Amino acid sequence: MISIDNVSFSYDLGKTEVLRNISLEIPEKKVTSFIGPSGCGKSTLLRCLNRMNDLVETSRVTTGEIRIMGQDINGKDVDAIELRKHIGMVFQKYNPFPKSIYDNVAYGLRIQGIKNKKKLDEAVEASLRGAALWDEVKDRLKDSALGLSGGQQQRLCIARTMAVQPKIILMDEPCSALDPIATAKVEELITELREDYTIVIVTHSMQQASRISDRTAFFYLGELIEYEDTETIFQNPGVKRTEDYISGRFG
Amino acid sequence: MINGLPVLWNKGFSFVSQKPQTLSVLEIEKGSYTVPTENFDNMLLNNPDELAIGNLEDFEKSFAYKTFKIDNGSIIGEGYLKEIEKENKGYYLRFAKRDFATKSGFSVATDKKFNIKKEELAIIQQHDPGLIKGEITEKVINLNKKKVTIKAGEYDLSKNGHDALIPTELVFQMKQSFPDDEPEKINTTIIPKDQTITVTSAIYNQAFDEDERGTIPVAEEVAIPYTVTFNQFTLPAAKYKVSAETLKVLSNYGIKHLHNPMLGSIVVNDDDDEKVTLNEKQFKRLVNDNPKLILSQIEDSQQNVSYTKFDLQKDSEIQLNFSDFLIFKKDKNFSPSSEKTHSYSGGGILGPIIGTACLVIICMTIALFTGIAAATYLNEYARKGGFTRIIRLAMLNLAGVPSIVFGLFGLGLFVMIAPVFSATPNVESKFHVPIVALGSAPDLRTLESEGIEIVDSTLSTTQAVETANLVGAKKFYNGWYYISFQGWGTCMLAGGFTLAIMVLPVIITSCEESLKAVPMGFREAAMALGATKWQSIRTAVLPYAFPGILTASILGITRVAGETAPIMFTAAAAEKSDLPWQGIHSSGFSAFVDFLQQSVQALPYHIYTVAGRIPQSEYTQPMQYGSVLVFMIIVFMLSAVSIYLRIKIRNRIKW
Amino acid sequence: MRKQRHILTEFDDALNDLKSNTISIATLAQKNVENAFSGLTLRDLTICNQVIADDEEVDQLEMQIDNDSLQVMAKFQPFASDLRLVVASMKITHNLERISDHAVSIAKRSRKIIKSEELEEISFIEPAYMQSLLMLKTAIHSYSEGSTDMALKVLSMDDDLNKFHKSATKAYTKKLEEPCENYKTYLNLVFITRWIERIGDLSTNIAEDVIFMESAQDIRHGGELEE
């Protein structure tokens, strides 16, 4: 689904490289997790996938290609805006707009110009159901989104992302700001979503990665150290550094 | 505040709801007077101390009015049309043709004797031979002209002599000019060469009479006697119809009418079918003096005006607004023993308040639009680096520029060379750029009132300008639309723009702060959902920066409302009788443009005028203090509104 | 191989405690086995009773080690080698407890043999015993050193143990075929030989667990260790 082919990346026009020669294949309709200590580049790589790094003017993919479904996403004829409609992103700090719940979920569709109320209603309901939030909010769709609890807000952000029906959902430490029960609900949601979406999740929690992901990639200082099935990584990693990291010997 | 509160207390709401007027201070003897009640009430408002008034009696007087419609094709004198327009505020006729052939009417109330020159009588006899029915006597008067020779040299000359010599052919130069406030001053004049001119006795007495000081000595003088023949005749009281030339002559000798014999009568081309109203007296005069006037749908109506009869029990000093004074004068008993006027001390400050409000609205519209756009660009789009630093530095500097510099800048840029898109550009404009040949010629009334000269459409722009210049016209029309850099003149638009530039740094800075306060997460979330940069800013950032922007704009308003120097040069008029939306005679978009092109009164400038530019007296003081107090109250109210709005909106949007 | 310390010192301390406790129980079990055989050969009742008494401590230690292991897993959620260490330690402890139980059984039978007349056939079990003891020592050593080589050596010694076991048993059963008045002693010796063989088997289990702990490969039931 996603081919990262010898990719290097820099935030300052190539002077210092934040990612070096990363190559990995992310399979379709599975959960892939990126783990590694802070500053190892996993969030950077995640944001490369939907070209969110374009917001920083001096960022460049200095070598290699990122291909999604066969197409180079940094190619000249690829519109980043269009790309982001097919790749959704959920952020570490949940950030629903200070609008109503309905408006939050419908935001992505309205941006695309869809105004038909019936279509919007259906899409909103489908997304909220998919995010396991419908039953909790169906009576107060017009209330402000900021009245929800933290976990609900994060699930609302996931519903918002799902409403535009992307093929890939990227999650950047989605549970790091949530309490354990909310975290568990989100993890449950991720395991359900796996059937319809390709999910790439960056996480600091080893336990979370081992619980919900199918494939795990371990990054360190901008390089990909090991990329295996999750079971292998967490029971018998091949590289000593991986083992040291997941055992808590450093990192 | 101490001085201002009593003023407001006494005058009440009228202070804010009346336009500024000249105040007449009159000494009135005791007596009994009858005046309309409205003016009586105004008089009570204007006099803070209790007047000794007794025996009040209210009654109604009714006046008869006639309502009618003027049919197309009627011929009407210019003055009569203007009177109708004055009495009926919505009525404005754009006539296209003037008529010289029709005879104009006038009435003579009592037998009137005329003493006119022979040439003038000839004109009358030529055009209206049947006019003078009575006896015409002749009188020959001998007058003297003098032919004087003056040698070259330097001589003393008084102002009177100077003024008298100007229309003559004498060539002379003044060493200094005559100041306005020293009429007795004697200056030196230089006569460059020997000259001989012929002058009338009047001019001779002023400039050459040796008995007077400051006259030029003559080397030689020759008296040239000539005679002027005067004719006398009497016109009995009646109504008359005469041609324009005759009327021109008779007007010089005291005939009362409202025609304009120089320019002719007006052909009515009214498409609107509007009905107008005049009172009986005016209506009678209109019908009498305009024989070719065709009226239809004539209706009678009555209006009742309440009058008050009162006794003034002792000699008092009364303050009245000038307009009230004019109406008081209609009472024949009313004759003040002394009359003093003080400008700007009567009435209220409605005009300045409205003017300030208009200026503020225009200014904030421009400033907010530009400011928000600039702040958005600086914060969201511009590359962080040298360019933005330069802009910010420039803004900081702009914030410190004294306001009078802004005034002068506005004067130079907006008032004098701003571009105007028009089919009738000024002759005086700095630069003309022809655009498209689609203009339609304006109607005759506009041509006359604005001094437009229609030139041939084959002429080039430069030739057209020259032609119009030669003729003395102010504008020209040759069928092309021009962009003409002629400035907007002193008007609200220029003032608004100048104020907008002044307040722009404040707005941009606060808008930027508000934008920065919106968390980055909103922008990222919006963009991750596939919004373009502008969409994300419009829907996910600007709405939440709104409270800050609102505060900034109120701050801007507070600052701008009180500025004097910028509007002094660009928009403010000291005296304006109409409110901005009155007195506009176009419709649609041109009405909007005309509205903006007016100058307005403004509160700070009004305070300046009342305090600094007119002679001070105890009568001007109430106006000054009252104006300042009202002004401060307005500013406080604006600040309070801003705080309230900010709190309310901030509570609604919280993250 | 020296492993880097964990960042959480509690984690490190807990694992170290676990390991040292396992070694303690191993030492105890080993001592019990040695004492059981000494008591038999030296015909000393007190030593035999000592073995039975010391088994209490082994039982207590086993329970404690099980408890500690559960705690480590719940508290620190160990992964990879740490997890294998904990699980292996639990299993090894269990095996050691059973070894100690077998030593107790040997001691109990020895008491009975001591009451009867000394026989020279008692020395026949010596080779099997030595082999079994060596296997146990090597297995314990392989755990404390974390050495797969030593563990493999233990597995290779199993064949010899079987040989020794078979020959001793055969000698004793032959003796039992003929009527004699020391048949009880010979029977007890047969049982003791069996238990010695069981101790060897359990040592082999310990070695397999050590191999799993170190290499993550499960070579039980006929598996081969891959490089």
Q: What is the pLDDT of residue C142?
A: 94
Q: What is the pLDDT of residue B542?
A: 87
Domains delineated in chain B: 1-19+348-414+489-655 (1.10.3720.10), 20-64+303-347 (no CATH), 72-133+236-293 (no CATH), 137-231 (no CATH), 419-486 (no CATH)
Domains annotated on chain A, with CATH = 2-246 (3.40.50.300)
Q: How far is A95 from chain B (nearest CA, A)?
A: 6
Chain A CB contacts of B524 below 8 Å: 52, 55, 89, 91, 95
Beta strands in B330-418 (DSSP E): 338-347
pLDDT tens figures, B69-106:
888 888 888 888 888 888 887 777 777 788 777 777 88
Mean pLDDT of B250-256: 77
Q: What is the pTM of this model?
A: 0.71
In single-letter form, the type of residue at position A129 comes to R
- CA A44/CA A22 separation, integer angstroms: 12
Cβ under 8 Å to A: C residues 83-142:
83
Please enumerate in sequence order all residues whose Cβ is within 8 A of that of B616, keeping only pairs 6 or more positions apart, or say none: none
Quick check: C5 and A249 CB within 8 A?
yes
Of the candidates B87, B58, B84, B67, the one whose C-alpha atom is nearest the C-alpha of residue B305 is B58
pLDDT value of position C92: 95
- The residue among B587 and B637 whose pLDDT is bigger is B637
Q: Phi and psi for B143 in degrees, rounded to 5?
A: -125, 165
Contact B305, B117 (CB under 8 A): no
SS3 readout for A88-106: EEECCCCCCCCCEHHHHHH
Q: Are A88 and A159 in contact (CB under 8 A)?
A: no
Q: pLDDT, tens digit, for every residue of B485-516?
A: 887 878 888 888 988 988 888 889 888 888 88
With CA atoms as reference, the chain A residue closest to C6 would be: A249
Average pLDDT, chain B: 80
φ, ψ at B514 (rounded to 5°): -65, -40
The residue among B409, B411, B412, B368 whose CA lies nearest residue B571 is B411
Looking at residue B217, its pLDDT comes to 80
- Angle between helix C183-215 and helix C148-177 axes, rounded to 10 deg: 160
Domain boundaries, chain C: 9-215
Question: Residues of chain C whose pLDDT is less than 70?
Answer: 1-2
Whether B177 shows a pLDDT value over 80: the answer reads no
Asked if A235's CB is within 8 angstroms of C6's CB, the reply is no
Q: Which two tokens stand for residue B210?
A: 């040796």
| Shortest CA gap C151–chain A (Å) | 20
Interface test with B, best of A95, A164, A168, A200 (most B CBs within 10 A): A95
- What angle is formed at CA B501 by the lines to CA B496 and CA B506, rounded to 5 degrees? 115
Do B519 and A95 count as a contact with CB atoms less than 8 A apart? yes
The per-residue pLDDT of chain A, averaged, comes to 90
Using CA atoms, how far residue B459 sits from B469, B474, B483, B584, in Å, is 14, 17, 17, 33
Average pLDDT on B522-541 reads 89
The encoded tokens of residue B242 equal 């005469």
What are the chain A neighbours of C216 within 8 Å (beta carbons)? 235-236
How far apart, in Å, are the Cα atoms of B375 and each of A44, B513, B547, B562?
A: 29, 9, 15, 25
The CA distance from B170 to B193, in Å, is 10
Interface contact A89, partner B, CB < 8 A: yes
Counting residues of chain B whose pLDDT is more than 90, the rounded percentage is 1
How do residues B397-454 score in pLDDT, each as one tens digit?
888 888 889 889 888 888 888 888 777 777 777 778 877 777 677 777 777 777 777 8
Which positions in chain B touch A53 (Cβ < 8 Å)? none
DSSP string, B60-80: EEEEEEEEEEEPTT-EE-HHH
CATH of C9-215, one of 1.20.58.220, 3.30.70.100, 3.40.50.1000, 3.40.50.300: 1.20.58.220
In the block, residue with structure tokens 């919007």: A120
Kindly give, in sequence order, each residue whose CB lies less than 8 Å from that of residue C87, ignoring residues fewer than 6 positions away.
C69, C213
pLDDT at B47 over 90: no
d(CA B255, CA B249): 10
Closest CA to C139 of C87, C197, C203: C203
Q: Are B64 and B280 in contact (CB under 8 A)?
A: yes
What the block records as the tokens of B173 is 């130069």
Measured distance CA(C165)–CA(A30) in Å, rounded: 56
Lowest mean pLDDT among A181-185, B95-99, B565-569, C58-62: B95-99
**pLDDT tens by residue, B347-376:** 777 888 888 888 888 888 899 899 989 998
- CB A55 to CB B527 under 8 A? yes
Encoded amino acid at A78, one letter: V
- Range among B192-196, B500-504, B590-594 rated most confident: B500-504
How far apart CA C176 and CA C119 sit, in angstroms, is 14
Q: What residue has token string 């190539």?
A: A14
Of A52, A71, A74, A67, residue with least CA distance to A2: A67
Give the separation between CA A154 and CA A131, rounded to whole angstroms: 10
Which residue, among C198, C187, C33, C216, has the nearest Cα to C116 in the 3D structure?
C187
Amino acid C1: pLDDT: 45
Tell me how close the Cα of C99 comes to any Cα of chain A, in angstroms. 30
Comparison of pLDDT for B74 and B649, the residue scoring more: B74
Chain B 520-539, residues with CB within 8 Å of chain A CB atoms: 521-532, 535, 539
Lowest model confidence (mean pLDDT) among B2-11, B20-29, B37-46, C34-43: B2-11
Alpha helices (H) along B214-309? 244-251, 280-289
Residues of chain A neighbouring B528 (CB-CB closer than 8 A): 50, 52, 84, 88-89, 91, 161
C-beta neighbour count of B100 within 10 angstroms? 11
Report percent pLDDT > 90 for chain A.
45
Using an 8 Å CB-CB cutoff, list chain C residues near A210: 79
Give chain C's mean pLDDT.
Answer: 90
**To which residue do tokens 């999910």 refer?**
A199
Subunits next to B (3 or more Cβ pairs <8 Å) are A
Cβ–Cβ gap A246/C79 under 8 Å: yes
